[in-house]
Chains A and B, each alone.
Chain A
Amino acid sequence: MIRAENIFKSFGDNHVLKGIDFTFETGKTNLIIGKSGAGKTVLLKILVGLMNPSEGHVWYHDRDLTQMSKEETRELRMDVGMLFQGNALFDSMTVEENIRFPLDMFTNRKLKEKVERVNYCLEEVSLGGINKKFPSEISGGMQKRVGIARAIVLEPKYLFCDEPNSGLDPKTAIKIDELISEITKQHNITTVINTHDMNSVMEIGEKICLLDAGKLAWEGGKEEVMNTTNKTLEDFIFASPFLQRLRARALGSD
C-alpha cells in the first residue's frame, strides 16, 4: 500500500498539485487519470521519489519516503519497478542486456541463471527470442513490453507505469493493459498507472484517482464510472463529440 498525504507541488508560480490525498492499494491496478498537463507525471515522480513534493508525505506502509535518506531510498527501490513514458531503454544495449542490467547490478547470480531469468521475463511479456535485438530495431509496442520486462525482473512489490499505452494502436494498447493487470494479480503487486486512455480506465481501473486543476476530482472503481454524476469525470469521459453523440442517442432512446 502506498499513501499520498496532502501532496502539494509548485514550479514557481505554476501550482501543479494542490493537496492530493489518495491510497494506492496492494494487489490492485490503481489508476491516475486526467487531462494532459493535469500533473499525472509529476504525481507519479513524487510517489517514486524522483521529485520532492513542496509539501506532504508519501507513505510506503508505515515508512515516509519524503523523510528517507538517499541510502534508505535506494534500498526501498530494490522493490520498485517503473515503466517510463518514453521507455527509457538503454539504447546502446541489446534487449537482453537491458533486462539483465538490474540483475547484473544487484545480484551475484551466474550469467546462465541471469539469462534464464531474462528469458522468463521475456516470455511473460510474450517476446521470447528477441534477446539480441537493439531497442531501435523493435516496434513501439515491443519496446513497452521490454520496459515492463525490465521493470519486473527483480520481482518488485511496487510497479509504476507512466502512460503505458500512449502512442500505441488500440489493440496493442489493450494487450499492454491486460499484461500489466495480469502481472499485478499474479505477483500481488501495488501497481500505479498514469493514463488518459478511457479504454484502460474501463478495462483495468480497479481504483481510480481523477486529477483536475491540481486536486483530486473523483475517486472510485471502474464499475462506478458509468453511473457517475460527477461533472468533471463526465467531461473527461465524454470529451469527444463522437462519444457525446453516442451518449445523447443512448439517453434519447431510453
Chain B
Amino acid sequence: MNPGFLYHFGKFVQWFPQIFSKPENGRMYYKEVVRQMYDIGVGSLMIVFVISIFIGAVTAIQFAYQLGNSFIPPYYIGYIVRDMAIIELAPTFTCLVLAGKVGSNMAAEIGGMRQKEHIDAMEIMGVNTSSYLVMPKLIAALIMIPVLVSISALISNFGGYLASVATGYYSHSEYVQGLRSFFVPWNVVMMYVKAISFAFILTSVSCYQGYFVKGGSIELGEASTRAVVYSDILILIADYIIALVLTV
C-alpha cells in the first residue's frame, strides 16, 4: 500500500483525539451544532428525496423484470424494495451522495478558514480549533444523517410503489402485502449501524482534508475532491465489513 496512506492515517490518528476536549464555551458549540444540523438536515432533504424515489422505483422495475413469469408471487415486490432499501440502498446510496454534498462542503469551509488564517486567528485567541470546528459537525452529522437515511428508506418504498402500482403493473394490495411480509427488525439495526458509521467516516475524513490543507485555491479544490473520493471508498469498505460482521 502506498506510504502516503500510512502517513495520513498516522496523522489522522494523532489529530483526531484533540477533537474531544472540553468546549471553551458550551453555548458557542451548541449554536454551531444547531447550525450544522440545519445545514446537513434541511439542506440535504431535497436531494435525499429525489434519490430515494429513484432507488425505490429502479429496484421495483428491475425486480419486476427478473420476476418475469416465474413462480415467485407478485407481492414479493414490496418486500424486496423494502429490504433492499433498508439493508443497503438507503444507507449506502444516501451517504455516498452526502459525501459529495456535505463532505465536500465541510472540507471547503474548514480549508478556506485555514487558508485565510482564520484558524490561526482562533488559535491565537486560545480556541481549540480542532474541537470547535470539527466536534459540532461530527455531532450534527451523527444525528442528522441517520435521520436522513430513515427518511430515505421510507421514501424508497414510496418510489417503489409509484413505479409498480401507479403504473398499473401490480395492485395496491399486492405491494402493501409485500411491505408487510417477512419483516426482520435486525435489518433496521443494520441500517442504523451503517448510517452512523458512514456519517462518522464522511465527517472525519472531510474535516481532516480541510483542516490540513495548504497552498491556494487549486489545493482547496483538490482537498475537497479528496474528501469525497476517500469518504466514498472508505464508506464502501465499511459497508462490506458491516455486512460481513452483522449477517453471520
Contacts and interface: CB of A to CB of B under 8 A. Distances in A.
Interface of A: 48, 50, 70, 74-75, 77-78, 80-82, 84, 86, 88, 90-91, 101-102, 104-106, 108, 154, 160
A160 B18 CA distance: 26
User: Is chain B's binding surface mostly helix, strand, loop or mixed?
Assistant: helix
Contact of A106 (B24, B116, B124): B24
22 contacts: A48-B124, A50-B120, A70-B128, A78-B126, A82-B124, A84-B121, A86-B116, A88-B116, A88-B117, A88-B118, A88-B120, A90-B118, A91-B116, A104-B27, A104-B28, A105-B24, A105-B25, A105-B28, A105-B126, A105-B127, A108-B25, A154-B125
Given A74-B126, A106-B126, A82 B121 contact: yes
B123 interface: yes
A143 B18 CA distance: 32
A110 to B, nearest CB: 12
B19 to A, nearest CB: 13
Nearest to B125: A102
A51 B97 CA distance: 38
Interface of B: 18, 24-25, 27-28, 116-118, 120-121, 123-128
A75 B117 contact: no
A106 B118 contact: no
A80 B117 contact: no
B124 A77 contact: yes
A104 B27 CA distance: 9
A77 B123 contact: yes
B9 to A, nearest CB: 22
Nearest to B113: A90
A180 B127 CA distance: 24
Contacts of B124: 48, 50, 77, 80-82, 160
Given A50-B123, A105-B25, A74 B128 contact: yes
Nearest to B29: A105
A82 B74 CA distance: 71
A106 B118 CA distance: 17
Nearest to B18: A70
A70 B124 CA distance: 12
Residue among B18, B123, B125, B126 having the largest count of chain A Cβ atoms under 10 Å: B125
Contacts of A77: 123-126
Contact of B121 (A70, A88, A154): A88
B123 A101 contact: no
A70 B18 CA distance: 10
Residue among A104, A105, A106, A154 having the largest count of chain B Cβ atoms under 10 Å: A105
A106 B121 contact: no
A84 B127 CA distance: 16
Given A50-B123, A82-B124, A88-B116, 16 more contacts: A48-B124, A74-B126, A74-B127, A74-B128, A77-B123, A80-B124, A81-B124, A86-B116, A86-B117, A88-B117, A88-B121, A90-B118, A91-B116, A108-B25, A154-B125, A160-B124
Contacts of B116: 86, 88, 91
Contacts of B18: 70
A101 B125 contact: yes
A251 B44 CA distance: 73
B21 to A, nearest CB: 9
> Which 3 A-B pairs have CB atoms at the shortest separation, nearest pair first?
A77-B126, A88-B121, A88-B117
B121 to A, nearest CB: 4
Nearest to B117: A88
A77 B128 CA distance: 11
Contacts of A106: 24-25, 125-126
Contacts of A50: 120, 123-124
A107 to B, nearest CB: 8
Contacts of A91: 116
Contacts of A101: 125
A105 B125 contact: yes
Contacts of B118: 88, 90
B226 to A, nearest CB: 24
Contacts of A105: 24-25, 28, 125-127
Contacts of B126: 74-75, 77-78, 80, 105-106
Contacts of A160: 124
Contacts of B120: 50, 84, 88
A102 B127 CA distance: 9
A156 to B, nearest CB: 10
Contacts of B121: 82, 84, 88, 90
A106 B125 CA distance: 9
